[in-house]
Chain A
Amino acid sequence: MASAPENEKNASAPEKKTLTLKSMINNEEFVVDEHVALQSVTIKNMVDSDCAGDVIPVPTISGEILALVIEYCKNHANPSASEDDLKKADAGIVAKDIYTLIDLVLAANFLDIKGLLEVTSQKIADSIKDLPHQDVREIFGVENDYTPEEEAAVRAEHDWAFEGFP
């Protein structure tokens, strides 16, 4: 009963516009409704300036990460989602290990999706907050290039910042 008029509607209505996003890391393709993909300002600019072909190549973002980005965009393109629903969904998306989060923050930055950039950055900040400095260096691939004297000077400069740290 309910499905019959639905089908008719689909037949008469113009086909929903979709875009294909392709990860250039592993060639994975994702077909996405246009209004979902347009939450990315980068993609929106490409579409608006007619630079988008049938397939939009996304460099430096793996399929795994692109899938998370698209999940985020779908959630936030749903007009009936309540604020609480979105909060829960966001928390699910960022419940990942730190390396996935760093990939995700880079993706959000490249695709220019402000909300995703924010929740991911917050999560990264929360996860590194209580880590020893050496662990944070490892996560971000940082080599300590201070001389012992320089390091001591930095510590002395902001002593309160280092209270409670080894």
Chain B
Amino acid sequence: MDLDFGRNTDWISKLPDSILCYILSFLPTKYAVGTSILSTRWQYLWTAVTSLDFDDSVIFEERSTRSDDIEDEVDLSFMNFVTRVLLLNDARCLKKFTLSLGSFCNFDVVNSWISAAIRRNLQKLVLHFSLGEEHFIENPVQLPRMVFNSKTLVELKLDGDIILKVPASVWLPSLKILNLVDLKYEGEDALQKLLSGCPVLEELFIYRWIADIQQELSIYVPTLKSLMLTRLVDEYYDQINDSDSVDESNGQHYKLVVNAPKLEHLHLNDNVAEDISLENLSSLLKAYVVVGSSFSIPVRSTDSGGRTSKLLSGIANAKFLDLFTDVKDYLLPTFHNLTHLRLGSCDGYNLDMLKDFLVHSPNLEVLVLEGNRVVLGSTKHWTPPPQVPCCLSLHLKEIEILKFNGKEYELEVIEYLLKNAEALKKMTIDWKYSDSCFSGEITGFPRGSKTCQLSLLL
């Protein structure tokens, strides 16, 4: 028997067209079409690929050295290519259509491509336009209405210089994944309108610089499982706004409401909203939350403590929580399900919050404390809770101390935890930002758990 059968190239050349075509679907379309040059058998293989991916930047890189005439010629060449491919490709259903544009900006043509793709029962549409602010102001790009009324679209990713103008009727009955990055929105309710037409949406990703009118954002999606929301204040806008900050009370009110009973994953970094309401997050498993003064510049709110308390009570079901905050004034609910907690702050440890979490997380098993390289206020001291919290005596197994600085209060915290965490199996300290002269001191601290291992990472 031929042991090297698998390496026999005759056999490889008998690879069925269906597999070759499947492999071609993973190539950018430029390369897939390029394989037509290999042999007569390959000439039309690409016409059955179910995934099309066009990117004009391949040419764009050389563009700076080109004259306007050549530039027009290149645009024409790209346009003819995409149009021909769309005409010749005869896959009955298109799985994916990706279009990345950095220079081609004939949007009558672009929109006809997008419509043509949508009409082929498209499942996934990815648009990435980076055409520059100047172009954008002159010719804001709107998507064809057909995009908002597709029965087959499962995934929609929009990134860059696009205005989200949502038609009066939106119906995307199959859409499960929606990504909106750096878009401009036409009208306050564009996003709301879009969400209301997505009856089975599971994943929502929004990244947005706020530099426009007041905004009340409500995300009420009963089917949503994962939400990643980042809204940041534009620094430029901020400077303008600072000059007449006296007018802050003139009705500017940013509000965020999330109501999603099936939500499992929440990633929230919103330094815009003064009022955050997280309602009905009964399925929440993992939360990553950034909130508070040093992380959000500027703080518009006068009551950041109340805002934080409301936010914390909204995520109290979480099993895994990563929380980055400097807020000192808050009320902490009990986190009954919490087993994994990571706490970080811009200003060394948020000691009060650490104390409160130990008291209010009865089932905590893993604790990660993230310090900071530059710590300004080093005069603070650790005040332990009056009684040893039950998570320490029963459940806490693993502690990780990241970015250890060697400050007095850090040593106090480590000493307290080592002494009182009776179930502790492992404590790891990352020393990268300090000298190692504390190692003797720390290894000498009495330990409540006899089986605790201490590792120092240098």
Q: Give A contacts to B, CB under 8 Å.
A: 25-26, 60-62, 64-65, 99, 102-103, 105-106, 109, 117, 121-122, 124-126, 128-129, 133, 136-137, 139-146, 150-151, 154-155, 157-165
Residue of A nearest to B81 (CB): A160
> What residue in chain A is nearest B12 (Cβ atoms)?
A141
- Which residues of B (107-138) have their CB < 8 Å from a CB of A? none
Interface of A, helix, strand, loop or mixed by DSSP:
helix
Q: Give the 10 A-B residue pairs with the shortest CB-CB distance, closest first.
A: A141-B13, A125-B26, A160-B81, A141-B9, A161-B33, A103-B6, A161-B34, A121-B23, A62-B6, A160-B77
Interfacial chain B residues near A25, Cβ < 8 Å: 1-3, 5-6
A26: nearest residue on chain B (CB-CB)?
B3
Q: What separation, in Å, do the CA atoms of A60 and B43 have in the docked complex? A: 28
With the chains together, A144 CA to B78 CA distance in Å? 27
For residue B30, CB closer than 8 A to chain A, the reply is: yes
* Among A60, A62, A125, contact of B23 (Cβ-Cβ < 8 Å): A125
Question: Distance in Å from the Cβ of A12 to the closest Cβ of chain B?
Answer: 31
**B5-30 interface code vs A (CB 8 A; 1 in, 0 out):** 11101101101100110111111101
Asked whether B39 is an interface residue with its Cβ less than 8 Å from the other chain, the reply is yes
B409 within 8 A of A: no
Contact of A136 among B1, B38, B43 (CB under 8 A): B38
Complex Cα gap A163–B42 (Å): 19
B6 surroundings in chain A (CB, below 8 A): 25, 60-62, 64-65, 99, 103
Pair B38/A142 contact, Cβ less than 8 Å: yes
> Whole-angstrom distance between the alpha carbons of A142 and B81 in the complex?
25
- Contact among A26, A125, A140, A163 for B59, CB-based, below 8 A: A163
Task: Determine whether B450 belongs to the interface, using a CB cutoff of 8 Å to chain A.
Answer: no
Task: Find the B residue at minimum CB distance from A105.
Answer: B19
List B contacts of A162 (CB < 8 A). 34, 37
Q: Are B9 and A124 in contact (CB under 8 A)?
A: no
Q: Is there contact, CB below 8 Å, between A160 and B30?
A: yes
Name the distance in Å between A79's Cβ and chain B's nearest Cβ. Answer: 16
Give the CA-CA distance A165 to B34 in the complex, in Å. 9
What residue of chain B has the Cβ atom nearest to residue A131's Cβ? B31
Can you spell out 29 A-B residue pairs with CB atoms less than 8 angstroms apart?
A26-B1, A61-B6, A64-B6, A65-B6, A99-B6, A102-B12, A105-B19, A109-B19, A121-B22, A128-B27, A133-B34, A133-B35, A133-B37, A136-B38, A140-B12, A140-B38, A141-B12, A142-B38, A145-B40, A155-B37, A157-B36, A157-B84, A158-B84, A158-B85, A160-B30, A160-B77, A161-B81, A163-B30, A163-B59
Q: What is the bound-complex CA distance between A165 and B40, given in angstroms?
A: 19
Tell me, yes or no, whether B80 is within 8 Å of chain A by CB: yes
Residues of B within 8 A of A60 (CB): 5-6
- The listed residue (B19, B26, B41, B84) touching A106 by CB distance below 8 A is B19
Q: Does B58 contact A (CB under 8 A)?
A: yes
The one of B27, B36, B58, B80 in contact with A125, judged by C-beta atoms closer than 8 angstroms, is B27
Query: Quick one: which of B16, B28, B33 has the most chain A CB within 10 A?
Result: B33
Find out whether the CB atom of B37 lies under 8 angstroms from the CB atom of A142: no
Q: A26-B3, A160-B80 are in contact. Are A141 and B39 (CB under 8 A)?
A: no
Apart from the given pairs A62-B3, A137-B38, A160-B77, 7 other A-B contacts in the complex at a CB distance below 8 Å: A146-B40, A154-B43, A158-B36, A159-B81, A161-B31, A161-B81, A163-B30
Alpha-carbon gap, A147 to B296, bound state (A)? 66
Whether the pair B37, A154 counts as a contact (CB closer than 8 A) is yes
Q: How far is it, in angstroms, between the C-alpha of A159 and the C-alpha of B80 when the chains are bound?
A: 9
Residues of B within 8 A of A65 (CB): 6
Point out the residue from B15, B25, B36, B80 that lies within 8 Å of A102, measured CB to CB.
B15
Residues of A within 8 A of B37 (CB): 133, 146, 151, 154-155, 162
Docked-complex contact B9 and A158, CB < 8 angstroms: no
A159 to chain B, nearest CB (A): 6
With a cutoff of 8 Å between Cβ atoms, the chain B residues found around residue A145 in the complex are 39-40
- Write the chain A residue with the least CB distance to B79: A160
Among A26, A129, A142, A160, the residue within 8 A (CB) of B39 is: A142
A139 to B13, CA, bound (A): 9
B78 and A160 contact, CB distance less than 8 A:
yes
A residues within 8 A CB of B78?
A: 160
A125 contact set on B, CB distance < 8 A: 23-24, 26-27
Return B248 CB to nearest CB of chain A, in Å: 43
Closest residue of chain A to B19 (Cβ to Cβ) is A109
Residues on the A chain within 8 Å of B38, using CB? 133, 136-137, 140, 142, 144
| Contacting residues, chain A, for B1 (C-beta < 8 A) | 25-26
Q: How far is the CA of A137 from the CA of B2 in the complex (A)?
A: 24
A99, A124, A150: which contacts B7 (Cβ < 8 A)? A99
Which chain B positions have C-beta within 8 A of A99? 6-7, 12
Q: Using Cβ atoms and an 8 Å threshold, which residues of chain B touch A105?
A: 19, 23
Given contacts A105-B19, A117-B22, A121-B22, contact A142 B41 (CB under 8 A): yes
- Listed residue (B3, B23, B81, B84) with the most chain A CB atoms within 10 angstroms of its CB: B23
CA distance A117 to B22 in the complex (A): 9
Q: Which residues of B contact A109 (CB under 8 A)?
A: 16, 19
A25 and B3 alpha carbons, distance in the complex (Å) = 6
A27 to B, closest residue via Cβ: B1
A165 to B24, CA, bound (A): 17
| Least CB separation from A134: chain B residue | B38
Contact A140 B13 (CB under 8 A): yes
Question: Closest approach, in angstroms, between the C-beta of A138 and any C-beta of chain B?
Answer: 8
